[in-house]
Amino acid sequence: MNHEEIFEQAWAAPETTSVELPAIPVNDVLRERYDVRPPFAYTGAQLWDMEVRKAAAPDKYIPTVVKAGSAEKFPSVRHGRFEDFTRVSDQCRWADPARFATIIEHVRLDHENRRAFFIGAERFEAPDGRVFTAGAGQPIFDVEHSVAGPEDAPLNLWRIVHLTGEPDRSLVDAFDELAKDRYLRVFIEVHLRDDLGRELVRR
């Protein structure tokens, strides 16, 4: 599977619903919106470490989206700069966050270019023979999370494309609301507190 190619084809297709959230200059937001103890600024390598951890344990790093204890990661395969695996979790629906659906994602981590692709699937047969089926009520979606910018001033990037059959304004509106948040995304806050041992106070 060529995860990047699948993502870009879906992104370019006129019948899908594509959303690119604003790039987050992580250290600028930390300085302007938080009191951090001890003081801290991210490097690109540290921000990529967060992405790798989040990919493997989405219920820990995205508790506002993924139901606690629902995430399961199937064994990784390493080849060159890539690491591939599949994960299954229960996630709240983007346009109806009070309800959950089973989400199957084929994941590729590009460790050299610091890009993570998540390709949605309708069905997955696990190595142990269990069969997972994507839940109803949420369109299949593909995601790219990545780290860009200078090593001492990294950017957090996020693109998502929903395979909707035609553009869906309700999904765009849901992400427009998310983009208005003045603070760092929850997964960065979790990484700072739990993995880097920082205390955070929002201003």
* DSSP states of 14-61: TTSEEEEPPPEEHHHHHHHHEEEES-----HHHHHHHHHHHHH-HHHH
Q: Residue 27 is part of a domain; what is its CATH number?
A: 3.30.530.20
**Over residues 47-58, mean pLDDT:** 98
> Which pLDDT does position 83 carry in this prediction?
98
Q: Cβ(15)–Cβ(164) under 8 Å?
A: yes
Q: How many domains does the chain have?
A: 1
Q: Which long-range contacts (CB under 8 A, 24 or more apart) does 125-133 make?
A: 126/74, 126/86, 127/74, 127/75, 132/88, 132/102, 132/104, 133/102, 133/104
- Residue 94 banded pLDDT, cuts 50, 70, 90: confident
Q: Between 30 and 173, where is the model more confident?
A: 30
**Over residues 18-36, mean pLDDT:** 97
Q: Between 28 and 137, where is the model more confident?
A: 28
**Which range marks the domain in which residue 173 is found?**
3-202
Joined tokens for residue 56: 């493997």
> Which pLDDT does position 95 carry in this prediction?
78
**Over residues 13-34, mean pLDDT:** 97
**Over residues 107-127, mean pLDDT:** 98
54-70: pLDDT as tens digits:
999 999 999 999 999 99
> Which pLDDT does position 28 carry in this prediction?
98
> Which pLDDT does position 177 carry in this prediction?
85
pLDDT of 97 > 90? The answer is no
> Which pLDDT does position 182 carry in this prediction?
94
> Which pLDDT does position 63 carry in this prediction?
95
Q: Cβ(21)–Cβ(179) under 8 Å?
A: yes
